[in-house]
Structure 1
């Protein structure tokens, strides 16, 4: 506990990231790793006296680490980090800057001949590495029609270069209509406008707090329970 009694500060999480940086790099794909570096940079650049900026930056780092396997020591430690804790001090900023330098370093070139290029895997292919793009989704045109105009920024939008942007279908009522209000509320908490993959992973992944997949519980659980589960993630409760 810190001196304000609100949970540990950012330093333990940053130290753990540094300790396990190699296994983190191995567990995340290129896009996920780049996002983590971006979030660490935001934390390093957040003004220490701007509590909201620091809290959002810490939330961003934490969400960027959610794709790690549940058994990974950093992933296992996330729920113990309170984002409402006091802003990190100079040590955390120094740690974040050091992590950025270490984690951004290019991987050493492998010895021996260069392996042949692996053919690109298309979306829809059973070998596609991104399961989020295999989930039912609306096209940009369909989402625009359902929203009666440009989709709001907090709606999860997953870039899919070969086929156009995809809006996960769970965000909309099955029978038609505009997005679920509770989805928009939760997405705001999860910063879906800057981390759509992290938000989508929360909705489509198992959740011990709720006892199921949040997306499958829309309309079956009271909205406030979904919001509470997302708030617990954000605040580390």
Structure 2
């Protein structure tokens, strides 16, 4: 189901949908929306979103934009926002208009992205000249490259072995995570606690089979 699109429609047409429902029924929807915007667990949040969809499916005409959005099967609800930085920003972009409708404010996506970037920039990292001296290509799409607003780039050191060479498994997983397009999200995947693995992937390098790390990364990018 196109849960993301449908919830976006719900925020956009909040008052119109309110007008279609008895007060008690809309209060039930609002309570679930409030719960959804506060929830950070992937499975629980999906259950809440599906419950919202089920309730509105029974109350709205089949041609309503909310129900039309639900038919989009190309979408996938954003995973647990604590597991991945970019998805956290996406999650908040989805939740922000719903929070406004509930008269409640929270951290903005931009604020979250700035905080995450500050965390990443505080990590040990290599400069471009160090990267080149180690025989690595700064433009390699298998590398996580973090760039500040002034154009300064750095490459988090956890990607490299003690001799400065890029770890092959890290390069492979970075490509699965599409690090070239989403370096911040890829870096946060490595550093954040992973529910499937039971720990941050970076702490499990060399401790568990590489295949388990690859499978966990593919959970984030199921189409890759």
Q: Normalising to structure 2: TM-score of the pair? A: 0.52
Task: Write out per-residue CA displacement over residues 17-64 of structure 1, whole angstroms, 9 at most, x where no aligned residue.
Answer: 45469x9xxxxxxxxxxxxxxxxxxxxxxxxxxxxxx97xx68x8777
Query: 2: distance between equivalents of 1:224 and 1:128?
Result: 28
**Which has more radius of gyration?**
2
Q: What are the residue-to-residue correspondences of 1:23-34 with 2, within 5 Å?
A: none
Q: C-alpha displacement at 1:218, in angstroms? A: 1.3
Distance change (3 Å), C-alpha of 1:221 and 1:234: same
- Assess if the C-alpha contact under 8 Å between 1:140 and 1:164 holds in 2: no
CA RMSD in angstroms, aligned pairs only: 4.0
Partner of 2:3: 12
Note the 1:25-44 alignment, pairs <5 A.
Answer: none
Match of 1:138 in 2: 126
**Higher normalized helix content (fraction of residues):** 2
Check the 8 A contact 1:203/1:213 in 2, yes or no: yes
Structure 1 unpaired stretches of 5+:
1-8, 24-53, 76-101, 103-122
Moved over 3 A (4+): 17-21, 61-65, 72-75, 147-151
Structure 2 stretches lacking a partner, 5+ long: 13-33, 35-72, 98-113
State the TM-score, normalizing by the size of structure 1: 0.49
Alignment size in residue pairs: 144
* SS at structure 1 position matched to 2:126: strand
Deviations along 1:166-203, whole A, 9 cap, x unmatched?
Answer: 11111101x21321111111111111111111111111
Contact 1:147–1:179 (Cα < 8 Å) also in 2? no
SS at match of 2:165: coil
* Equivalent residue in structure 1 for 2:168, among 177, 181, 185: 181
User: For the structure 1 residues 73 and 221, does the alpha-carbon distance in structure 2 shift closer, same or farther, using more than 3 Å as the test?
Assistant: farther
**How many Å apart are 1:219 and its aligned residue?**
1.4
Question: How far apart, in 2, do the equivalents of 1:64 and 1:18 lie?
Answer: 24
